[in-house]
Amino acid sequence: MRIVAEGLTWGVDGRVIVDGVDLVCEPGSFTGLLGPNGSGKTSLLTLLAGLRRPSDGVVLADGEDLHAWRPRERARRLGVVEQHAMTGLDLTVREVVELGRIPHRGRWPGATDEGAEAIAAALRVGRVKDLESRRWQTLSGGERQRTQLARALAQEPEVLLLDEPTNHLDLGHQIDFLRTVRGLGLTTVAALHDLEMAAAFCDRLVVLVSGRVVAAGRVDDVLTSELVRQVYSVDAEVGRHDGVDRLQVVWRS
């Protein structure tokens, strides 16, 4: 699905959080949202997910106004993974993944297809098949994120929106998670903090500062030492080093 945002604006208490954002995500592309804390990445994602109405501007999904869709329709086409999903309830991994079928189901049990195949596929692709009967409360951070990804996949979405999905994960699990997402080939927008991870897995980067897009484009064009200095006030050298085929960011101080 092609996602286009035009002049997207949203604020609260008279403070503008997202300020006239234009964005194009081609079908099957992986877009990384970068920017310092409080730059509006999460708010922009909730607008793209249709969970909030912009005060101005539109989100077009294959040319249609996303906010005019009914919530269930939206949930069948867009999957969201939050930064830190929490629950006090005693659910198994399978039960969490089954939540993803809610937008496909009717009001009464049994009346519609329960989506057994979609659940099986989501467990497999999200690589939580072995954890199926484990209890959510006993999972590690990496396992929880994979479970939430599998839940989003059970929705059979065309678009994935991820809010700092690798925030609490160690290096190995970060690579593992992003590689899985990348391999899905879905239109993906992810807010990320780690610049090298973003460089390694994204097709395009969009950089926000105070709710505005300050840079957008191909990874190599966006991620420069100039940008790192301007956005994060960090003096860094950005480049490719011998034998490593991706951008590295070496900061000095």
Question: What single-letter amino acid sits at 251?
Answer: W
Q: How far is the CB of 131 from other proteins (least distance, A)?
A: 10
Residue nearer to other proteins on the CB measure, 89 or 244:
89
Pick the stretch among 15-23, 46-54, 172-180, 228-236 that binds other proteins (CB under 8 A): 46-54
Q: Give the Cα separation of 7 and 21 in Å (integer).
A: 5
Q: How far is the CB of 94 from other proteins (least distance, A)?
A: 8
Q: What part of residues 97-156 is at the interface with other proteins (CB under 8 A)? A: 99-100, 102-103, 105, 107-109, 133-135, 138, 155
Residue nearer to other proteins on the CB measure, 93 or 228:
93
**218 binding other proteins? (CB under 8 A):** no
Beta-sheet pairing, 212-218 with 204-209:
antiparallel
Q: How many CB atoms lie within 10 A of CB 214?
A: 16
Residue closest to 200 by CA, chosen among 147, 134, 248: 248
Residue closest to 215 by CA, chosen among 201, 203, 230, 200: 230
Pick the stretch among 21-29, 78-86, 171-179, 238-246 that binds other proteins (CB under 8 A): 78-86
| The token pair that represents 180 in the structure block | 């899985």
Helix (H) or strand (E) holding 48: helix 41-48
Q: Which residues pair with 56 in a beta bridge?
A: 9
**189 binding other proteins? (CB under 8 A):** no
Q: Give the Cα separation of 148 and 84 in Å (integer).
A: 10
Pick the stretch among 68-76, 113-121, 184-192, 220-228 that binds other proteins (CB under 8 A): 68-76
Q: How far is the CB of 138 from other proteins (least distance, A)?
A: 4
Tell me which residues touch other proteins (CB under 8 A). Answer: 46, 49, 51, 70-76, 78-80, 82, 85-92, 94-96, 99-100, 102-103, 105, 107-109, 133-135, 138, 155
